[in-house]
C-alpha cells in the first residue's frame, strides 16, 4: 500500500498525511500541467489581457470549436488551463453564479465576488468524500468601472487573489519570474503594449515564434469593457508589431 512518502494517505481526499498535506489536492495541481499549456494574464493601465496557447491535437478537428477562452458574463471572461472537461464544468458553474447574481440584484457580479464563489465551490471539492478537486485553474479578467482593469486567478485548492500579472501551467515558474522583472518598475502599459507584453512573455518562456493561429487572446478595455476574443487578423497585427519592435 505504501508508495513513497504518501503511504496510502493519497487514497482519500479527506485524510491529511502526518505532515499535514492533502495529496489529492497536490495531484490536482499537477493535473493542470497535463495538457502542456501555459496561460498568462496581465493588467495594463486601461486594459486587462489573457493569453494562452492554442493546440490542435488532430487535423480533422474544426479549429473554431477548440478554445480555452470563455465569456462568463457580458463583461467578465476567463482562460481555463488544465483538464478542459473540468474547466468547462467550472465555466458553466461560474456562468450560473453570474446569471443568478444579476437576476437577484439587477447588476453584474463584480469580478472578486465571482472568483470568491468559484473558489468556495472548489474548496468544497477538497473537503468532502465523493468529490474530487477540479484539475484546472482559471484566470478571470474584467474592467471594473470603479477599480479599473482587474485580473484574478483561482486554483483547485479554493484559493483566489487579484494580480498585476499572473500565469498558470507548465511554464508557470518561468513565466512568473519573467513577469516579475517586467512589473518591478510599475510600468504604465497602454492597451497595445499590454497585449504585446503578453505575447512577448509567452513567446519568451516557450522559446517559440507564434503564428496567429497558435495563440488565443482575450481582452477587456476601458473603451470596450465587454470581454472579447481577438480575431486572427488582430492577433497578426500585434505579432507584427512585436516582431518590428524586436
pLDDT in tens, 93-119: 999 999 999 999 999 999 999 999 999
The widest CA-to-CA distance across the chain, in whole angstroms, is 59
CA distance 97 to 186: 34
CA distance 130 to 108: 33
Beta-sheet strand order (sheet of 228-229): 165-169, 38-43, 47-53, 215-221, 228-229
CA distance 88 to 52: 16
Closest to 40 (Cα-Cα) out of 122, 129, 153, 130: 153
pLDDT in tens, 126-146: 988 888 899 999 999 999 999
pLDDT, residue 6, reads 60
pLDDT at 63 over 70: yes
Unique residue bearing C-alpha cell 497536490: 26
pLDDT at 2 over 60: no
DSSP E strands in the chain: the ranges are 38-43, 47-53, 69-71, 77-82, 136-144, 148-154, 160-162, 165-169, 215-221, 228-229
Amino acid at each position: 500500500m505504501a508508495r513513497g512518502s504518501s503511504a496510502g494517505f493519497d487514497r482519500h481526499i479527506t485524510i491529511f498525511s502526518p505532515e499535514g498535506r492533502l495529496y489529492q489536492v497536490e495531484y490536482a495541481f499537477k493535473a493542470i500541467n497535463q495538457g502542456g499549456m501555459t496561460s498568462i494574464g496581465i493588467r495594463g493601465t486601461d486594459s486587462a489581457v489573457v493569453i494562452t496557447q492554442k493546440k490542435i491535437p488532430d487535423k480533422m478537428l474544426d479549429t473554431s470549436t477548440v478554445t480555452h477562452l470563455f465569456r462568463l458574463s457580458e463583461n467578465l471572461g476567463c482562460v481555463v488551463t488544465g483538464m478542459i472537461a473540468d474547466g468547462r464544468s467550472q465555466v458553466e458553474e461560474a456562468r450560473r453564479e453570474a446569471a443568478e447574481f444579476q437576476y437577484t440584484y439587477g447588476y453584474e457580479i463584480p469580478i472578486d465576488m465571482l472568483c470568491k464563489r468559484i473558489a468556495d465551490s472548489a474548496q468544497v471539492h477538497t473537503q468532502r468524500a465523493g468529490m474530487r478537486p477540479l484539475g484546472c485553474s482559471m484566470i478571470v479578467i474584467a474592467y471594473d468601472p470603479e477599480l479599473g482593469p482587474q485580473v484574478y486567478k483561482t486554483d483547485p485548492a479554493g484559493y483566489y487573489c487579484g494580480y498585476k500579472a499572473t500565469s498558470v501551467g507548465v511554464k508557470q515558474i518561468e513565466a512568473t519570474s519573467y513577469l516579475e522583472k517586467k512589473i518591478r518598475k510599475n510600468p504604465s502599459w497602454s492597451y497595445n503594449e499590454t497585449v504585446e507584453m503578453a505575447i512577448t512573455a509567452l513567446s519568451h518562456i516557450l522559446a517559440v515564434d507564434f503564428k496567429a493561429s497558435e495563440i488565443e487572446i482575450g481582452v477587456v478595455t476601458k473603451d470596450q469593457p465587454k470581454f472579447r476574443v481577438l480575431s486572427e487578423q488582430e492577433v497578426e497585427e500585434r505579432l507584427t508589431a512585436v516582431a518590428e519592435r524586436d
